[in-house]
Homo-oligomer: A and B are copies of this chain.
Amino acid sequence: MPSRLEDLCVQKGLKMTDQRRVISRVLSNAADHPDVEEVHRRAAAIDHRISIATVYRTMRLFEEAHVIDRLDFGDGRARYEGTRTDHHHHLIDVDSGEVIEFTNEEMERLKEAIARELGYDLIGHRLELYGVPRNRRGEPSGGA
């Protein structure tokens, strides 16, 4: 059975190879935000005939076709998630590294309003919040 993202690829007219099917499946099943190395690891577990170069090339292709979204959590490498219909954002728990997704209608409205006010049409945006759990306390946020 074709994965959700595989369907999306076909819909967009992408030529489908075994590798792309596997990567589609990995990303369709991912509940998290894997980086390229992790995608490659999971893909290779399904079918080892897949190189890291192909993963890189495929991620770029998928990104340009809007099949996936590239994320950036500030750690120097790209993370990915399958493109979704809901506009959502991420809160990164800096203690655990956990990523919490959230949606917020007011935020959507506000972003549009700000862009319009500045004379722009919004075509993209990125919001990440970095936080620490509220009931855990005492973390010194001091220097080095």
Binding site for B on A (CB under 8 A): 64-66, 70, 72, 74, 83, 91, 93-94, 100, 102, 104, 106-107, 110-111, 114-116, 118-135, 141, 143-144
Asked, given contacts A106-B110, A110-B104, A119-B135, whether A128 binds B129 with beta carbons under 8 Å apart, the answer is no
Q: Determine if B110 and A143 form an interchain contact, defined as CB atoms under 8 angstroms apart.
A: no
Choose among B65, B121, B132 the residue that contacts A141 (Cβ–Cβ < 8 A). Answer: B121
Please state the number of chain copies in the assembly. Answer: 2
Contact residues in B for A123 (Cβ distance below 8 Å): 94, 130-132, 141
Known A-B contacts: A107-B114, A115-B131, A119-B135. Give 18 more (CB < 8 A).
A66-B144, A72-B74, A91-B118, A93-B120, A100-B118, A100-B120, A104-B110, A118-B131, A119-B133, A119-B134, A121-B131, A123-B130, A123-B132, A124-B129, A124-B130, A124-B131, A125-B128, A126-B130
Contact residues in B for A128 (Cβ distance below 8 Å): 125-126
Choose among B83, B91, B126 the residue that contacts A127 (Cβ–Cβ < 8 A). Answer: B126
Choose among B64, B114, B122, B134 the residue that contacts A143 (Cβ–Cβ < 8 A). Answer: B64
Contact residues in B for A132 (Cβ distance below 8 Å): 120-121, 123
